[in-house]
């Protein structure tokens, strides 16, 4: 369902049913059959279960369960139900038809979205699973949604370079606190302290980053510990806790302190 992977479903608008007899309509995966009506030229949506929670917006980071299949055959090529683990992603990172089809959906809902090729994978498809010009249909359960903030502006700081880690909470979160062993989902921008020149940012990729704290530079790891989900934190990292005397040419010169602005979205 991301642009670089498959997360799509082909379902007949009136031929969808849930498996089993659970009282929770989102407890089991939907059963998919191929479409028999002519493929639509525009995105079509149908709420199979109307949610009552928060609304998905274009700048949201969502948790979903989904099934994907080719509309013409009903053949499923991707689903979160196989691993029994929801997908977490930014709506900005998915194919246009899915993004547009999810707008306005409420948490707790299940929505069918039929996506024409022009808003899916187009004339190239995603071989061998999705043929060129194939219409797609998704059935998506929206489990949670979080509004993502815009990218921050970082400016250079003249004067002496910092020698110790400095943490400033621009916004204090209200969720779970980060520990040193966690895997986190964040949006971040990293810049050179002296110039403010950004060398890396998840915002430029339109999707948050996920990583284990054990795999990042020491200053970033220590700077995130204790941060709460929903917060925005500014972390100033001295060179000794960053890339040190070696730097990371050409973007980071030797002995350059760093500044990170981090939004903590989730602890996985």
How high is the mean pLDDT of the chain? Answer: 90
**What's the pLDDT score for residue 22?**
55
Query: Is residue 215 located within the same domain as residue 114?
Result: no
CATH of the domain at 35: 3.10.50.40
Q: How many domains does the chain have?
A: 2
Let me know if 53 is exposed, middle or buried by CB neighbors in 10 A (0-12, 13-18, 19+): middle
Residues 183 and 227 in one domain: yes
Same domain, 182 and 253: yes
Domain check: are 181 and 119 in the same one?
no
State whether 100 and 217 are in the same domain: no
Label residue 158 by pLDDT band (50, 70, 90): confident
- Alpha carbons 155 and 159: distance in angstroms, whole number: 13
Q: For position 203, what pLDDT does the model report?
A: 94
For 29, 68, 229, the CA distances from 80, given in Å and listed in that order, are 9, 9, 24
Query: Tens digit of pLDDT for each residue in 5-56?
Result: 434 333 333 233 344 445 788 999 998 889 989 999 999 999 999 999 999 9
Q: Domain limits at 136?
A: 17-147
Where does a domain end: 115, 147, 179? 147
Of 83-92, 97-106, 247-256, give the lowest mean pLDDT range: 83-92
Tell whether 81 and 113 lie within a shared domain: yes
What's the CA gap between 238 and 255, in Å, rounded?
8
Judge if 142 and 27 occupy the same domain: yes
pLDDT 10s digits, 195-228: 999 999 999 998 899 999 999 999 999 999 999 9
Evaluate whether residue 124 is within a structural domain.
Answer: yes
Task: Let me know if residue 4 belongs to a domain.
Answer: no
Tell me the CA distances in angstroms from 120 to 3, 205, 228, one per residue in order: 9, 19, 36
pLDDT of residue 5: 41
């Amino acid at each position: 369902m991301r642009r670089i992977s498959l997360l799509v479903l082909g379902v007949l608008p009136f031929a969808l049913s849930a498996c089993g007899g659970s009282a929770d309509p989102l407890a089991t995966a939907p059963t998919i059959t191929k479409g028999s009506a002519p493929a639509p030229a525009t995105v079509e949506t149908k709420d199979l279960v109307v949610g009552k929670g928060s609304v998905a917006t274009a700048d949201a980071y969502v948790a979903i369960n989904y099934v994907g299949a080719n509309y013409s055959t009903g053949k499923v090529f991707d689903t979160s139900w196989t691993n029994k683990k929801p997908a977490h992603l930014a709506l900005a990172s998915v194919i246009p038809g899915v993004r547009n089809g999810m707008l306005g959906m409420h948490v707790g809902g299940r929505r069918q979205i039929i996506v024409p090729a022009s808003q899916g994978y187009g004339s190239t498809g995603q071989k061998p699973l999705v043929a060129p010009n194939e219409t797609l249909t998704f059935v998506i359960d929206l489990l949670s949604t979080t509004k993502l903030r815009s990218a921050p502006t970082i400016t250079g700081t003249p004067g002496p370079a910092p020698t110790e880690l400095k943490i400033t909470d621009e916004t204090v979160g209200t969720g779970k606190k980060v520990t040193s062993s966690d895997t986190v989902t964040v949006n971040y921008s990293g810049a050179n302290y002296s110039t403010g020149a950004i060398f890396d940012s998840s915002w430029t990729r339109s999707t948050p980053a996920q990583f284990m704290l054990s795999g990042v530079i020491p200053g970033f790891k220590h700077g995130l510990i204790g941060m709460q989900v929903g917060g925005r934190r500014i972390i100033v990292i001295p060179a000794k806790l960053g890339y040190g005397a070696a730097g990371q040419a050409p973007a980071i010169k030797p002995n350059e302190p760093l500044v990170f602005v981090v939004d903590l979205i989730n602890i996985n």
